[in-house]
Amino acid sequence: MAKASKPEKTAPKAAEKTVKEAEQDNTPVIDLPRSISVRQLAEMMDIDAISIIKQLMRNGIMANINQVIDYETAASVVGSFGYKAHLTPIKDQLMANAAEESKRLKRKYGKDSADLVTRPPVVTVLGHVDHGKTKLLDAIRKTNVVDSEAGGITQHIGAYQVMIDKQKITFLDTPGHEAFTAMRAHGANITDVAILVVAADDGVMPQTREAINHARAAEVPIVVAINKVDKDNADPNRVKQQLAEAGLVVEEWGGNIVAVEVSAKEKKGIKELLESVLLVSEMEELKANPNLPAAGIVIEAEMDKSKGPLATVLIQSGTLKEEDMVVVGTTSGRIRAMFNDTGKRIKKAEPSMPVEILGLDAVPNVGDTLTTASDERHAQAILARRRAEQEKEALKKQAVNLDNLYDQINAGQVKELNVILKTDVQGSLEPIRTSLERLGGDEVQVRIIHSAAGNVTESDVMLAAASNGIIIGFNVSPTEGAKRLASTTGVDISFYKIIYNLIDDVEKALKGMLEPKLIEVIEGRADVRAVFSAGKGAKAAGVLITEGKAARNANVRVLRGKEIVVESTVGSLKRFKDDAKEVQTGYECGVGVKDFNDFKAGDVLEFYKIEKSRK
C-alpha cells in the first residue's frame, strides 16, 4: 500500500473524541476502517476528492485520488470537514460482511438450498503480456499432474483441474483479459476468481491496469501473484505500492487483496497461491446443485477431421452424463463420449468440471449455453424457442450511445452509463473523469470502468461491448483494429478536442437534449478513365470504382487534383448499356453528374451521403 506518511500528532482533538461525546455536541460521526483510499473517503463524506487532496497537502502529505491512507491520517482530514472519526471495530466489520454475504447467498440461491454442495472455483489468469502468465499456468499444471497421467502432461482442451489439499480448482487456459472479456461479451460470466500476475522486476504496467479494470467490470475477486521474485532486481514492495495506487491494497498493508510472491520459473510459491485461491473462493461461497439436469458454457469448439464437431464445456450446475440429449446454442445432439482434461473417457461431469463432448450435429460458438433435454423432441422445442428468442433479441437489442442514451434511461434499460475514457496525456484524465462522474443523477450513474492515456484499442472496444458501455476519447484516435471491431459490435466511440464540449455532450445526452450533427460519410470513389457523349450535348464519365460503391442519385463531387470542381448528384449510372442501381468496387461503369459535363481523364469522383451524428 502506498501508505501516506502520518502527520506529526497534529490531528484535531475533535477527531479523538469518543462517539458518545460526538453525539452530545451534535457533530456528525463517520465510521472509518483502518485504511481507506482518498476516493472512498470523498464518497463517504460526499465531497470532491480534490478538496481532500488539498487538505492532505496542507498537512504535508502528497497523495493522489487512489492513494490509501491510514485511520489516523483520515481522522485528521474528516475533522477538518466537521466530522468526528470513529474506528470501526474489526468485530463490527466481520459481522457486517457476514450479513452482506448472507443476503448475497439468499439472492443467488433462494430459500431452497438443501441440494447445494460446494463446487470448485473457476479461475482465469490475467496480467501484462511479458509478466509470465503462461509460465505460471504451466507451473501450476506440471506441479499438480497425477502420476497416472500418460507422460504427466494434461490434454489441451482449454481448461484443466488441479488438486490442492484434497480440493479441486478449475483453470481456464485462456490467459489474457481480452479472452476473459470476450466470454463476457457472449454473456458468459464464468470466472469466479481472477489471478493477476505482476512481475516483481517490472511492476504495474498499462496492461496490468487494463486487466484490473476488466476484472472489476466483471465483479470478480482478484488474487495477486507477484511473479519473478527469483530475479536479482525483483522488488515486491514496489509492486505492492503500485497496486495500492491502482486501488488494490494488499492484506499486509491493511487492505483486502491477497498477494502471493511466486516464481513460475523455480516453481516457488505455487502451493501458497493455490491455497489463497481456495481461501478467496470459500469466502465467495461457491455452490451448485449436482442433482439437476446439466447446464454449462462452451469455452472451446472445433471441427475435428476424424471425430466431427467437438466442444469443451464447463459444467456450471447439474451433472452431464454419457447418452444425455443436449442443446448447445442453436445445435443439438446426444453425448456419444466425454473426455476430461487428461484425455480419460468419463461417464459423468459435475459442476465446475471442464469436459470435451462428442455427438453434436454442428460446431457451436464459444459462449453458447448447454442445456440437457429429455429427448430429441424436447431438444427441437428448445432449439425453436432459442432461435425465436435470438431473432427477437436481435431486433430489440441496441448498443447504448449518446444519441439513444436518454431513451434507454426512460425505458429502464440503462441504470449506469459505463464509460471507457482515453486521453492523449495522463494529466487530462483526472479532471475529465471527475467532471464526468459528477454528471450522474438518481436515474443513471456515470461509471468510469477504465481510463488511460493512449489511443483507443481493440481491448477498449471489447470491454465496452461486454459492459454495454461507450468510449470517449480526448485528443486521441482509434487503431484500425478498434475501428473494425467497433463497427462489428456497435460500440459507440466519441472523440473530442475540447473538454467543455465533451462534458456538455454527455450532460445533454443524460437529459435527452443532445442535438445530432450532420456529418459526411464517404461511400465510394472512382477514377475517370474516359469521357464520352451521352446525347443532346451531355457528357458522361467512364470510370473504374476503386473504393466502396457508386449508387444512383447519390451525392457526388468531382475532384481534379486537390480542387473540388463541382458538387452535385449522380444523374445516371450505367453498366454497358443497362441502367444500374449501384456498382461495386472493381467494376467499370458510366456516370453522369447532374448539371455537369466538363469531365477530364484523371478526375476522381467521390460518392458520399449525409448522416446525423455527434462525431
Residue 562's alpha-carbon distances to 385, 568, 591, 599, in angstroms, are: 57, 17, 21, 15
Q: Is the pLDDT of residue 271 over 50?
A: yes
Distance CA 273, CA 480 (A): 39
Amino acid at 390: Q
Q: Is the pLDDT of residue 559 over 90?
A: yes
- Domain range list for the chain: 13-88, 117-288, 295-396, 405-515, 519-613
pLDDT at 41: 86
Distance CA 526, CA 539 (A): 16
Q: How confident is the model at residue 8 (pLDDT cuts 50, 70, 90)?
A: very low
Over residues 54-70, mean pLDDT? 79
Q: How confident is the model at residue 272 (pLDDT cuts 50, 70, 90)?
A: very high
Q: Which residue has the cell 483453470?
A: 171
What is the CA 430 to chain-centroid distance, rounded?
21
Residue 422's alpha-carbon distances to 450, 457, 458, 461, in angstroms, are: 8, 10, 13, 11
Over residues 226-231, mean pLDDT? 92
Beta carbons within 10 angstroms of residue 374's beta carbon: 12
Distance CA 582, CA 609 (A): 14
Over residues 60-78, mean pLDDT? 81
Query: Percent of the chain having pLDDT more than 70?
Result: 79
Range with the largest mean pLDDT of 27-41, 42-56, 297-311: 297-311
Q: Is the pLDDT of residue 557 over 90?
A: yes
Range with the largest mean pLDDT of 91-100, 138-147, 214-223: 214-223
pLDDT at 21: 46
Taking alpha carbons only, the member of 57, 51, 56 closest to residue 75 is 56
What is the CA 579 to chain-centroid distance, rounded?
49
Distance CA 609, CA 607 (A): 7
DSSP bridge partners of 451: 421
Distance CA 18, CA 304 (A): 71
Q: Which residue has the cell 489439499?
A: 165
More confident residue, 202 or 411: 202
Distance CA 271, CA 42 (A): 39
Determine the topology of domain 519-613 in CATH. Elongation Factor Tu (Ef-tu); domain 3 (2.40.30)
Q: Is the pLDDT of residue 431 over 90?
A: no
Over residues 474-496, mean pLDDT? 86
CATH of 405-515, one of 3.40.640.10, 3.90.1150.10, 3.50.50.60, 3.40.50.10050: 3.40.50.10050
Q: Which residue has the cell 441504470?
A: 415
pTM of whole model > 0.85? Answer: no
- Identify the CATH homologous superfamily for domain 117-288: P-loop containing nucleotide triphosphate hydrolases (3.40.50.300)
Distance CA 432, CA 428 (A): 6
pLDDT at 404: 62
pLDDT at 411: 58
Q: Is the pLDDT of residue 221 over 60?
A: yes
| Residue 495, Cβ density class (10 Å: 0-12 exposed, 13-18 middle, ≥19 buried) | middle
Any idea which of 59-63, 419-423, 555-559 has the lowest mean pLDDT?
59-63
Residue 226's alpha-carbon distances to 94, 143, 221, 229, 275, in angstroms, are: 27, 18, 16, 7, 15
The pLDDT tens digits for 82-96 are 888 887 654 454 445
More confident residue, 302 or 113: 302
Q: Is the pLDDT of residue 149 over 50?
A: no
For 151, which DSSP code?
A: G
* Cell triple for 403: 444519441
Over residues 46-50, mean pLDDT? 82
| Residue 333, Cβ density class (10 Å: 0-12 exposed, 13-18 middle, ≥19 buried) | buried
- Residues contacting 407, CB < 8 A, separation 6+: 512
Q: What value does the mean pLDDT of the chain take? A: 80
Burial 414-452 (b: 16+ CB within 10 A, else e): beebbbbbbbbeeebbbebbbbbbebeeeebebbbbbbb
The pLDDT tens digits for 324-376 are 999 998 899 999 999 998 889 999 999 999 999 999 998 888 788 899 998 88
pLDDT at 2: 43
Q: How confident is the model at residue 400 (pLDDT cuts 50, 70, 90)?
A: low
Over residues 374-394, mean pLDDT? 78
Determine the topology of domain 295-396 in CATH. Elongation Factor Tu (Ef-tu); domain 3 (2.40.30)
Over residues 491-499, mean pLDDT? 88
The pLDDT tens digits for 170-189 are 988 755 555 555 555 544 57
More confident residue, 343 or 16: 343
Q: Is the pLDDT of residue 480 over 80?
A: yes
Query: Percent of the chain having pLDDT more than 90?
Result: 28
Residue 606's alpha-carbon distances to 279, 550, 582, 590, in angstroms, are: 63, 9, 14, 14
CATH 1.10.10 correct for 13-88: yes
Domains 117-288 and 519-613 alike in fold: no
